[in-house]
Structure 1
């Protein structure tokens, strides 16, 4: 049975953090075990990435049925590009709360963990977020009640957070493994040149 993954995009998201999911899950569809479908969703019909190119998500949030998805992935972005305007919007936060209440996988890269914190689901949970610039973002995550760790990737239950863009591929491969299996992850990693 196909696992459907919603990639929830905020205006001002960082393209590279989104592309790791499109590439890893895309390679899985064409060359791996298959059985995954990544769907891009935003609060608006057009989104501008951190570095100023425009992206059109497949659907706006009002066009999708949350119950049809098995996992949620969220790339981070830049405050200067307006990322938190969408990421902290109640409609965006309600999606996170829904996936958490349904005990479905939620994976974020970098500052996208702050949206999880803002939603309230990280109270008392282990997590991480962007670790640079004096760890301001980590202090913010702590204020949301998270126990902030310095590991590149942190899993607590079905919540995955990571601490900067360099973790992107690892998070995407982890999601692939969790939704398929470790053997398939290794196969796709080999095909993409991440493993001998």
Structure 2
């Protein structure tokens, strides 16, 4: 069983988290049945963007990184305090540990900023939120990242994307890396994304 750890910061965007839950879940039920997702946060209860509450499966302190094959990180809103958790040493250390083990790290939108801040993207290609005068892309570049203005960027084991519209594509890319293109296409068909 391939295990995905969904790392949630306070103020995470529900849409961006839900695509990982759905795609990995559909594969578990109707795909090749080889993937399962678990949620994790700095604290046991995590607020979403727009202030809904989520109880995660584990806190960071309870997780053994060796048990997981991939890390998924949704972005979030500064207005809902995303960067307090996202830039905390506990959160950044999870990213460092997954990268050190060369495990897949899949992120959507501004979650790339947490990866950039962790230091693992220095000198590598990535992207992040590309609207509002590209402020977030300039921030990502400050971490020594080669910012690409394209929807999804894959650099070795790290997937980044530039806004919520890319969310399903990132989740399907993660599934393909964990399983196969054929299996991912089967899941896409079942979910109605392709005929």
Do Structure 1 and Structure 2 share a fold, with TM-score over 0.5? yes
**Partner in structure 1 of residue 83 of structure 2:** 84
Matched, 1:13 2:12: yes
How far has the Cα of 1:36 moved from its partner? 0.6
Residue 133 (1) aligns with residue 132 (2): yes
Matches within 5 A, 1:7-156: 7-156=6-155
* SS of structure 1 residue aligned to 2:6: strand
For residues 135-180 of structure 1, the C-alpha deviation after alignment (integer angstroms, 9 at most, x for no partner) is: 0000000000000001100000011000000000000000000000
The SS at the match of 1:136 is helix
Q: Deviations over 1:84-136 (max 9, x none)?
A: 00000001000100011111100100000000110001111000000000000
Aligned match of 2:192: 193
**Unmatched 5+ residue regions in structure 2?**
none
- The separation in 1 between residues aligned to 2:62 and 2:156, in whole angstroms, is 29
What's the secondary structure of 2:128's corresponding residue?
coil
Partners of 1:143 and 1:62 in 2: CA distance: 29
Which string of whole-angstrom CA distances, capped at 9 and with x for unpartnered residues, describes residues 27-78 of structure 1?
A: 0011100111111000111111011110111111111111111110100000
Structure 1 residue runs of 4+, over 2 Å off? none
Whole-Å Cα distance in 1 between the matches of residues 77 and 107 of structure 2?
14
Give the whole-Å Cα distance in 1 for the aligned partners of 2:4 and 2:116.
21
**Unmatched 5+ stretches in structure 1:** none
SS of corresponding position for 1:6:
strand
Q: For residues 99 and 49 of structure 1, what CA distance do their matches in structure 2 show? A: 24
SS in 2 for 1:110: coil
TM-score normalized by the length of structure 1: 0.99
